[in-house]
């Protein structure tokens, strides 16, 4: 059958579009982890190109073990152009250094996600990090706690618009440098909202304040930039309901914020102790979030969390996140990672049944 000239052109355009979309999809595929399971590793203390080069040498080994997602906590250890005054370290990571690690990760099928701690963790011990050192007026508790005595970590003021004027361009730089399609924003272990020493939040609803901070970041990253947003889940867990304690759960009123934020946020629900159950995992799943549970150095606790999470048999259960919290190298020998990956690779009962039927 002969086609009209106009119809032929339409079909050719359609074929071209389909091929283009197919090619684009293939080009982006290395960004995405294996369907159905994230086997993720969270790392800190890689604040220079030299450190990234060293990490890059271990990437093929980690990939061979099964790691397909790497969350790299960068924070202020980057050569920021928008705010060079906030760079941390003598030789922070450059865009070239970041791109080198991206290339290595993609060659090995690993999705690389940068992290920048937002709101909390703005100090450690006596050291206050660059944002609140250079802009002390952005401190949530300005002038209080000299030498950081009497607090866990300093926090920025989530109600001060200048915070976002400074920080959001920095997040954009990290997304560009790591050519990333996701960002981890931290948000864990926040204790100072509604503190008597916080003039901006004193007397305000802590959940509403926390939700506003989350929504501000989500509005920029997800709605404007079109990337995925990950965050720790502890401030969404009510310590009066879930008996985890004030670290793994919130005892300062932020927990109701879980119902005030978008459900497309990926919740990294960390638990480091051996327990009979981890009820916050199904709580987040039932509320519609995708969940990436995270363990740490206790091998038995890591395995228990993996088994409990897998038993949920929920489509929004992403897999597991291995956290490290040290400067140790040769992560391929980290016992929770070694044993946890073995467990993750074991087929579930459902998978075994399908294999038997075949």
Question: What pLDDT is recorded for position 155?
Answer: 98
Question: What pLDDT is recorded for position 3?
Answer: 36
Q: Is residue 12 part of a domain?
A: no
Residues found in the chain: 358
Main-chain phi, psi angles of 224, to 5 degrees = -90, -50
Number of compact structural domains in the chain:
1
The rounded distance, in Å, linking the Cα atoms of 134 and 150 is 22
Question: What pLDDT is recorded for position 19?
Answer: 38
Sign of CA dihedral 294, 280, 261, 207: negative
Question: What pLDDT is recorded for position 73?
Answer: 98
Question: What pLDDT is recorded for position 348?
Answer: 64
Q: Is residue 216 part of a domain?
A: yes
Q: Is residue 237 part of a domain?
A: yes
Q: Is residue 75 part of a domain?
A: yes
- Number of other residues whose CB lies within 10 A of the CB of residue 4: 8
Tokens 């200048």 belong to 162
Question: What pLDDT is recorded for position 36?
Answer: 54
List the CATH number of the domain containing 228.
3.20.20.80
What angle separates helix 49-65 from helix 95-107, to the nearest 10 degrees?
Answer: 10
Q: Is residue 349 part of a domain?
A: no
Whole-angstrom CA distances from 284 to 48, 69, 78, 109, 138 are 36, 21, 33, 28, 32
The rounded distance, in Å, linking the Cα atoms of 25 and 9 is 24
Question: What pLDDT is recorded for position 11?
Answer: 37
The rounded distance, in Å, linking the Cα atoms of 205 and 42 is 32
The rounded distance, in Å, linking the Cα atoms of 345 and 338 is 11
Question: What pLDDT is recorded for position 346?
Answer: 87
> 168, 219 in Cβ contact below 8 A?
no
> 257, 211 in Cβ contact below 8 A?
yes
Q: Is residue 354 part of a domain?
A: no
Q: Is residue 276 part of a domain?
A: no
The rounded distance, in Å, linking the Cα atoms of 78 and 89 is 8
What domain range includes position 53? 44-268
**Cβ-based neighbours of 126, under 8 Å, separated by 6 or more:** 147, 148
Q: Is residue 19 part of a domain?
A: no
> 285, 311 in Cβ contact below 8 A?
no
Question: What pLDDT is recorded for position 14?
Answer: 43
- Number of other residues whose CB lies within 10 A of the CB of residue 312: 16
pLDDT in tens, the chain (358 residues): 333 333 333 333 343 333 333 333 333 334 444 445 999 999 999 999 999 999 999 999 999 999 999 999 999 999 999 999 999 999 999 999 999 999 999 999 999 999 999 999 999 999 999 999 999 999 999 999 999 999 999 999 999 999 999 999 999 999 999 999 999 999 999 999 999 999 999 999 999 999 999 999 999 999 999 999 999 999 999 999 999 999 999 999 999 999 999 999 999 999 999 999 999 999 999 999 999 999 999 999 999 999 999 999 999 999 999 999 987 778 999 999 999 999 998 876 544 444 344 4
């Amino acid at each position: 059958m002969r086609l009209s000239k106009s119809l032929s052109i339409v079909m050719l355009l359609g074929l071209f579009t389909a091929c283009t979309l197919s090619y684009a999809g293939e080009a982006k595929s290395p960004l995405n982890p294996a369907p159905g399971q994230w086997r993720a590793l969270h790392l800190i203390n890689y604040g220079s190109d030299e450190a990234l080069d060293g990490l890059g040498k271990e990437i093929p080994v980690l990939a061979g073990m099964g790691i397909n997602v790497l969350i790299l906590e960068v924070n202020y250890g980057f050569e920021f152009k928008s705010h060079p005054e906030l760079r941390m370290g003598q030789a922070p990571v450059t865009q070239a250094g970041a791109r080198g690690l991206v290339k290595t990760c993609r060659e090995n099928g690993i999705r690389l996600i940068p992290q920048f701690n937002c709101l909390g963790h703005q100090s450690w011990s006596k050291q206050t990090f660059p944002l609140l050192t250079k802009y002390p007026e952005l401190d949530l508790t300005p002038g209080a706690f000299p030498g950081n005595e009497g607090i866990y970590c300093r926090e920025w003021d989530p109600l001060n618009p200048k915070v976002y004027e400074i920080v959001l361009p920095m997040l954009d730089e990290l997304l560009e440098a790591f050519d990333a399609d996701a960002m981890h924003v931290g948000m864990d272990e926040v204790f100072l909202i509604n503190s008597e020493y916080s003039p901006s939040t004193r007397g305000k609803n802590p959940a509403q304040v926390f939700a506003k901070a989350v929504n501000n970041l989500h509005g920029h990253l997800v709605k404007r930039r079109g990337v995925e947003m990950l965050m720790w889940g502890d401030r969404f867990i009510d310590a009066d309901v879930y008996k985890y304690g004030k670290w793994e759960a919130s005892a300062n009123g932020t927990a109701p914020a879980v119902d005030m934020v978008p459900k497309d946020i990926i919740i990294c629900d960390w638990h480091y102790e051996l327990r009979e159950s981890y009820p916050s995992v199904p709580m987040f799943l039932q509320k519609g979030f995708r969940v990436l549970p995270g363990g740490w150095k206790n091998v038995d606790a890591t395995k228990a969390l993996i088994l409990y999470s897998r038993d949920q048999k929920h489509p929004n259960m992403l897999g597991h996140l291995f956290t490290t919290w040290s400067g140790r190298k040769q992560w391929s020998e980290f016992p929770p990672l070694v044993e946890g990956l073995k467990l993750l690779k074991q087929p579930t009962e459902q998978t075994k049944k399908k294999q038997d039927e075949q």
